[in-house]
Amino acid sequence: MTEKATFGAGCFWGVEETFRLTPGVIETSVGYAGGHTEDPSYKDVCTDRTGHAEVVQIEYDPAKVTYPELLNIFWTSHDPTQVNRQGPDVGTQYRTVIFYHSPEQERAARASKAEMEASGKFRRPIATEIVPAPEFWRAEEYHQQYLAKRGLSHCHI
């Protein structure tokens, strides 16, 4: 039986590639979540007016990779102290967010965030939101596995 996880950590291309290559991850999809517009397009989301975050939704086998392991990848794949940006990308669509799908995921996410805050790894407070998973809107096909299709392993950040 598989489970779902949804993370926003800036531009979804690099985040997807990181998770896609993780053993135990069965499928990744990039898209939009957390906004107020039905079925937004990339162009809509880029206006910074729909409220959506760029996210990666992951289907994974919890017998091969645990949710806490996915959280560790999330924390190390971006700067969770930046508000509404990652590197040169600025806007609410680039916010750091964990969308949980169950009470167990919520507990794990909050505990993981507290551990990261206590670790002293970051000089600034962690800005990551932890909120219930809303409807996920799959991004246009050209965004799916964008880096892999181009033979790249990471973005500019």
Q: Please check whether residue 156 lies inside any domain of the structure.
A: no
Closest C-alpha among 34, 4, 40 to residue 19: 4
Quick one: pLDDT at residue 51?
96
Q: Please check whether residue 95 lies inside any domain of the structure.
A: yes
Q: Give the residue numbers marked as catalytic.
A: 11
Q: How many structural domains comprise the chain?
A: 1
Q: Please check whether residue 154 lies inside any domain of the structure.
A: no
Quick one: pLDDT at residue 153?
61
Q: Which two tokens stand for residue 28?
A: 């990744």
Determine the straight-line distance between the first and last CA of the chain, rounded to whole angstroms: 34
Closest C-alpha among 29, 19, 137, 148 to residue 75: 19
Closest C-alpha among 121, 33, 138, 25 to residue 80: 121
Q: Please check whether residue 94 lies inside any domain of the structure.
A: yes
The domain spanning residue 55 has which CATH number? 3.30.1060.10
Closest C-alpha among 1, 80, 94, 109 to residue 48: 94
Q: Please check whether residue 157 lies inside any domain of the structure.
A: no
Quick one: pLDDT at residue 157?
45
Per-residue pLDDT tens listing for the chain (157 residues):
999 999 999 888 889 989 999 999 999 999 999 999 999 999 999 999 999 999 999 999 999 999 999 999 999 999 999 999 988 889 999 999 999 999 999 999 999 999 999 999 999 999 999 999 999 999 888 878 867 777 766 665 4
Identify the domain containing residue 72 by its residue range.
3-149
C-beta pairs of 150-153 under 8 Å, 24+ apart in sequence: 152/17, 153/17
